Homo-oligomer: A and B are copies of this chain.
Amino acid sequence: MDIESKITSAFAKLGQRNTEQRRIIFEKLIELGHTGEAFSAENFWQELRKTNPRIGRATIFRLIEKLEELKALERINFADGSHCFRICSCEGHHHHLTCTECRRIIELDYCIPEEQISAIQKQANFEIDGHSLTFFGRCEDCQKKDKQ
């Protein structure tokens, strides 16, 4: 499933009305999906209002929330506690590697082995239904920069 159909199907599941705002947001997300660029909600809003001055902040927040639930968007946490959103090209469950200097994000297909999770589950008597994992470090470019 490519990025375009991922977003398209999320919008289809979304709700009843095909409003102009949704079309605008859709277009922008397709664009961001292709470049792989990450964005904050505020950030995304600022970007959109350049061309569409009357679009409301709340509309963006409300839609981002829904798209996150539908897993069309992923929330990515940085080491400093801040976060941003991103449309990932990886299908299914995965994790990220983030650069603490330039905030570059890399998708990883690594995940914790299923048997480890069930061992933890059994040991703690929990019913585990998710986890969040992010690696922090310095990317290739930032390492080079620092050596100079």
Contact = CB atoms under 8 A, between A and B. Distances in A.
Nearest to A79: B130
Contacts of A143: 127
B132 A120 contact: no
A138 B127 contact: yes
Interface string A11-23: 0000000000000
A97 B75 contact: no
Interface in A92-148: 97, 99-100, 106, 108, 110, 112, 116-117, 120-121, 124-140, 143
A139 B126 CA distance: 5
Contact of A121 (B100, B132, B137): B137
B139 A125 contact: yes
Copies of this polypeptide in the complex: 2
Interface of A: 75, 77, 79, 81, 83, 97, 99-100, 106, 108, 110, 112, 116-117, 120-121, 124-140, 143
Contact of A131 (B81, B99, B136, B138): B136
Contacts of A135: 117, 120, 126, 128, 130-131
Contacts of A97: 120, 124, 126, 128
Nearest to A139: B126
A126 B99 contact: yes
